[in-house]
Amino acid sequence: MTTTPREPLFCAHTDADGDPARCGCRHTAPERPADPEWAALELLVRLTPDLLGRDWPTRETLQGFAALLSAEDAFAGMSWHDARHAAAAILCDATNRGHPAGFLRGRADRALAGSDAITWDDPAATARAFTVTATLLVL
């Protein structure tokens, strides 16, 4: 799958150095994006400072990670509800857990079993997103 460059979904502002990831805006996701897969990948890259309260991982690292997830179609076919919640969980687990791959595999199991207190539109697609991410994290 080849990815064509797209405009950012959230903000076109930049800081003095031209870095859109550090513009200072409190980004919010669109209510119903036309492309939930792309919007979820944007969440991973653009919301990190807001969600985590720190500047790492770097924007470049997150862009590379998002490109890998895109190449593996991690969020393909997911509803916006599922994609945005999965993206937020992936971001938090990948950056805050001691063993994020194992935790994400557990999330996949819980999504499939319906035991994670979230009503997923498509538990199988959500589990796939978590499993794909877990696999990429150990490579």
User: If we measure between CA atoms, which residue out of 59, 70, 65, 55 comes closest to residue 20?
Assistant: 59
pLDDT tens digit at each of 139 positions of the chain = 344 444 444 444 444 455 544 444 444 556 778 899 999 998 888 876 666 677 778 888 889 999 999 999 999 999 999 999 999 899 888 888 889 999 999 999 999 999 998 999 999 999 999 999 999 999 8
pTM score of the predicted model: 0.77
8 Å CB contact between 101 and 138: yes
Domain contains 25: no
CA angle 91, 101, 125 (to 5 degrees): 70
Domain contains 71: yes
Domain contains 128: yes
- State the total domains in the chain: 1
In the chain, helix, strand, coil percent, each to 5? 55, 0, 45
Domain contains 105: yes
